[in-house]
Amino acid sequence: MLITCPYCGPRNVSEYTYQGDGNRTRPDPASTDQAAWNEYVYDRLNPAGDHHEIWQHSGGCRAHLRVTRNTLTHVVTEVSFARDAGHRKSERHRKPGAHA
């Protein structure tokens, strides 16, 4: 699997470290809403198809990237800097039976 780093170009996945689900939205740190914190800490999507993920180019420039990867084919369709994803609205969509 190749991931194209915006700085370094196409590199093998062995140069990257998976950092987690790219769809999570951290609740306000002052919030005491336990349901929101439980969802943030424990709930993970497991889609069969396109999934937004955070990867770090740990064997290269060390940039954190937001990668759209198809979980069935491992084809990467989009890569951007994770810092640029902060303004995006949450893209969480739960569908019954979407868990593989």
Q: Shortest gap between Cβ of 60 and Zn ion (angstroms)?
A: 4
Q: Shortest gap between Cβ of 66 and Zn ion (angstroms)?
A: 13
Residue with tokens 């990467």: 76
Q: Tell me the window of 8-16, 45-53, 77-85, 86-94 that interacts with Zn ion (CB under 5 A).
A: 8-16
Under the binding rule (CB under 5 A), the answer on residue 57 touching Zn ion is yes
Sign of CA dihedral 53, 73, 17, 58: negative
Under the binding rule (CB under 5 A), the answer on residue 47 touching Zn ion is no
Among 1, 2, 4, 7, interactor with Zn ion by CB under 5 A: 7
Question: How far apart are the C-alpha atoms of 7 and 49, rounded to whole Å?
Answer: 27
